[in-house]
Amino acid sequence: MSEASVRDENVVLRTAGLTKRFGRTTALDGLDLEVRAGEVHAFLGPNGAGKTTTIRILLGLLRKDGGQAVLLGGDPWRDAVELHRRLAYVPGDVTLWPALSGGEIIDLLGRLRGGLDPGRRRTLIDRFDLDPTKKARAYSTGNRQKVALIAALASDAELLLLDEPTAGLDPLMEAVFRDCVNAERQQGRAILLSSHILAEAEALSDRVTIIRAGRAVETGTLAELRHLTRTSVDAELAGPADLDGLPGVHDLVADGQHVRCQVDQAALDAVLGRLHQAGVRALTCRPPTLEELFLRHYSSERSVAGAQR
Amino acid sequence: MTGFAGTGQLAKLAFRRDAGILPACTAGIVVVVATVARDLKVLYPTEARRLALAQTAGPNAALRFLYGRLAGTSVGALATWRFAVWAGCCSAVLAIFIVIRHTRADEQAGRLELVGSAAVGRQAPLTAALIAAAAANVTIIGLATLWLAALKLGGAGSAALALAIGTCGLAFTGVAAVAAQLAATARGARGLALAVLGAAFVLRGVGDTGPAGLSWLSWASPLGWAEFVRAYGTAGERWWVLAVPLTAGAALAGVAFALAAWRDHGAGLVHGRPGRPAASGLLRGPFGLAWRLQSGVLLGWLAGYVAIFASLGAATKGVGAIFNTSAVLKRYLLRIGYQHVIINAYLSAVMLLAGLGAAAFATSAVLRLRTDETGNVAESVLATATGRIRWALSYCSVAAGGAGLLLAAAGLSSGLGYGVLTGSVGTQVPHLLGAALARWPAVLVLAALAAALYGLLPWESTAVAWAVVSLVAFIALLGPSLQFPAALMDLSPFTQTPRLPGGPVAAGPLLWLCAVAAALGTAGLLGLRRRDVGDLGPFHGVPGRVFRAP
């Protein structure tokens, strides 16, 4: 078996150099994204970064201007209907038919997709605590989201495309959602989870792609991404430590015997040596949260925008 | 009075939001009334002619059901007969839409929650909506008075007719205000208020046509009040009647304020029934969905069609005598119906109306594609194993099928209305059913044009499609009497259909109309297949005006 075909079997979704323009604005500017079979892939980025545009191209709703997009081995534009039998989608802004009840909409979406599991439908309605007899116009944002989620999770899709699926859910329902996603992963389904809720991506995802201004700026497992970043160090010392000017130390705040800073992987040893010399009373070292990773990319975008002004 | 804090700001916001539609609708109502009044002046220049019309049309029960009783024989009295009730209906519909748009619709959409969290009183949104609706009706009263008086129909009568129309709108402003408190949804509130209007029409119609013992029913109807003002009446206007709709409107507004002060935000007093916990077998696939979503609207149209066309059919019997009272009117009718026999010309014109109405329904059913696309509901369907073509065809099937049902209803009910009165149901029903359905291909052409616009020029489709339907209605209704050139008349697909009943029938034009419809529809579907879903067009992002607070 050649290496290429092994790769293809493992990849359920891939875009390379994907571009999309709306008039004068460029929504996607050469986006590379790859989701492998059986993984939960978080797709992170600030509002307007191009997450929804990417998903809508993958759904064949928008036509790409350039680059490649392969979904489940097919062309998302040309083979839309065939591919949609094998995937389920939850939009970020769930709009439903006001005159239909939640139960009717779940069944309708299931039938349109080619069937859903009645047992799972029942379980999911119970777990998400949804009243299926209410008309959609009476549902809150969170309940509309539940309807779309139940319809998607009750299907037999190989791939789930979830666009900010928990934006309207309360913490209790978010926990249910996480359990469901973990169960799906064990079933071997691939999930593309677009989000700007970082804790969610951190808790759920195997790999992460960070998108900014229509381009992927970072991609990999969380461990790989952390590799690129700094460790937060927070120390109480017996005496003053001299960290000023040490290469690889950033954002240093020295307040008498209290020291806080960000340290590059390579400089950790040297920093710990200096701290030890000063005498350590308390020390916290932690890997950066995804929040910090994210802020770094987001703030660099802002500084770029600021520099242009 | 803290309950009313912020009313001024909200009223300004309402006027700003309605800046386009409000002047257009008020002016539209006034223009129609004034144009018909002027036409009547031309058609019936002498007292003798008008007396002849009054003697033939006055006793006709079907016409009395549609228009009410004649109060005199002046031109103004004829205009009042023709329009007090119908323009009253129009101003009522306008008031209902304005009030509910700024109250329950905003509340349901959550906009009033945002507004209510500011220093805005509980009664302010309702008050602002009442101000907007009242302003529309006062504008109608002012414009109509001036225009009718300018036609030299008499100052007192002009003011009375204008006030009869406008106060009817004010009474329904109150009805809508209460409906907006009772129903929890905008759709429900509009339905409730429109049902009251429909009941008012039927009550007045029965009161005006039924035995004398039932004539009090007209007094139970706001549309009856508009009639009883007797504008331009031979016995003089009855000004005191105007106090009835004003009192009713004020009392209903008071009830609405009391309900608004008492109820919870977002809640209604009438609760919708719960839906089915699971979908029935009918809700399967895009076609089941499209028919299910539009069935309510279609049923409303069908009910209206049966009522109106049964009345128009029943009116056929006296039509010859009525149209003989005016040579000009007779000539117009013969032209518009392309006939030599007056009864056939009348029925052919009635079927043309049925066709134009069906075209309006079909166009709105097709354009719902665009509403659902920009409203993001389409996305959920298109992300399933439903192709764009099938999705679009499901809406088109409602347009084509619904238009066919409407035409069939028009043919059947007018055939029954005419046939029962003349004892010829067996011949009239199939006769008029065929005459109505002969307009179907022309309706399909207009629906297919809307589909072509939707596929190829989506961001302009709604405006252009309605402009075309209006143009076709203009050509079909006014072209014959204004003697438009044949090339212009040929632009209307209704010019091409056989003029039934009475005219010759040829399969050729029907077939090629169907071919044009198929070609337009195919072009639209191919366009839809190529373009982005949710395309907002090249002019998207042009900055809007800034709403300036004082």
pLDDT tens digits, B29-60: 898 888 888 888 888 888 888 888 888 887 77
Say how far residue B15 (Cα) sits from the centre of its chain: 23
Written as one letter, the residue type at B254 is G
Select the more confidently predicted residue: B222 or A217.
Answer: B222
Quick count: other Cβ atoms within 10 Å of Cβ B506? 9
Compute φ and ψ for B424, nearest 5 degrees: -135, 45
Percentage of chain B lying above the pLDDT 90 cut: 43
pLDDT digits (tens, 9 = 90+) for B270-329: 766 788 888 888 888 899 999 998 898 899 899 989 988 998 888 887 777 777 777 777
Nearest residue of chain A to residue B537 (CA atoms):
A23
Rounded average pLDDT over B378-396: 93
CB spacing of A112 vs B376 below 8 angstroms? no
- pLDDT over threshold 60, residue A119: yes
Quick count: other Cβ atoms within 10 Å of Cβ B430? 14
pLDDT at residue A167 in the model? 82
Quick count: other Cβ atoms within 10 Å of Cβ A287? 16
Inter-CA distances, B61 with A289, B330, B416, B419, B432, Å: 82, 21, 15, 15, 21
The band of B544, judged by pLDDT with boundaries at 50, 70 and 90, is: low
Compute φ and ψ for B42, nearest 5 degrees: -75, -40
- Which of these, B462, B123, B95, B145, lies nearest to B265 by C-alpha position? B123
CB B481 within 8 A of CB B426: no
CATH number of the domain at A3-225, please? 3.40.50.300
The tokens for B546 are 């800034």
Say how far residue A96 (Cα) sits from the centre of its chain: 24
Say how far residue B247 (Cα) sits from the centre of its chain: 27
Rounded average pLDDT over A105-118: 88
The rounded distance, in Å, linking the Cα atoms of B336 and B348 is 8
The tokens for A234 are 């927070």
Peptide bond into A165 cis (omega under 30): no
The band of A304, judged by pLDDT with boundaries at 50, 70 and 90, is: very low
For A230-287, CATH number out of 1.25.40, 3.90.105, 3.20.20, 3.30.70 equals 3.30.70
Tell me the nearest-neighbour CA distance from A52 into chain B, angstroms: 12
- Which of these, A286, A265, A263, A266, lies nearest to A275 by C-alpha position? A263
Select the more confidently predicted residue: A259 or B547.
Answer: A259
The tokens for A5 are 């075909």
Q: Which residues of B touch A25 (CB under 8 A)?
A: 541
**Which among A85, A101, A133 is the nearest to B385, CB-wise?**
A85
**ipTM, interface predicted TM-score of the complex:** 0.75
List the beta bridge partners of residue A11: A36
Tell me the nearest-neighbour CA distance from B533 into chain A, angstroms: 5
List the beta bridge partners of residue B161: none
pLDDT at residue B321 in the model? 76
The residues, ordered by sequence, that sit 6+ positions from B60 with a Cβ below 8 Å of its Cβ are: B315, B317, B318, B322
Say how far residue A289 (Cα) sits from the centre of its chain: 14
pLDDT at residue A3 in the model? 39
The residues, ordered by sequence, that sit 6+ positions from B378 with a Cβ below 8 Å of its Cβ are: B369, B372, B391, B533
The tokens for B489 are 């008349």
Instruction: Give the lowest-confidence range in A67-71, B248-252, B347-351, B516-520.
Output: B347-351
On average, the pLDDT of chain B sits at 88
Q: Which residues of A touch B395 (CB under 8 A)?
A: none
Nearest residue of chain A to residue B375 (CA atoms):
A95
Percentage of chain B lying above the pLDDT 70 cut: 96
- pLDDT over threshold 90, residue B251: yes
3-state secondary structure of A233: strand
The tokens for A228 are 């690129």
- The boundaries of every CATH 3.40.50.300 domain in chain A are 3-225
Instruction: Give the lowest-confidence range in A150-164, B417-431, B467-481.
Output: B467-481
The band of B95, judged by pLDDT with boundaries at 50, 70 and 90, is: very high
- Torsion sign across C-alpha atoms B355, B356, B361, B366: positive
> In A69-216, where does DSSP find H-type helix?
80-84, 102-113, 118-127, 141-153, 171-186, 198-204
Cβ–Cβ contact A122 with B under 8 A: no
The tokens for B313 are 């059919």
pLDDT digits (tens, 9 = 90+) for B169-216: 999 999 999 999 998 888 889 888 998 998 898 889 888 887 777 788
3-state secondary structure of B529: helix
Interface of B with A (CB under 8 A): 108, 184-185, 187, 272, 274-280, 283-286, 289, 292-293, 296, 375-377, 379-388, 530-534, 536, 538, 540-541
Nearest residue of chain A to residue B374 (CA atoms):
A95
The band of B126, judged by pLDDT with boundaries at 50, 70 and 90, is: very high
The rounded distance, in Å, linking the Cα atoms of A15 and A116 is 29
Compute φ and ψ for A256, nearest 5 degrees: 65, -115
Nearest residue of chain A to residue B542 (CA atoms):
A23
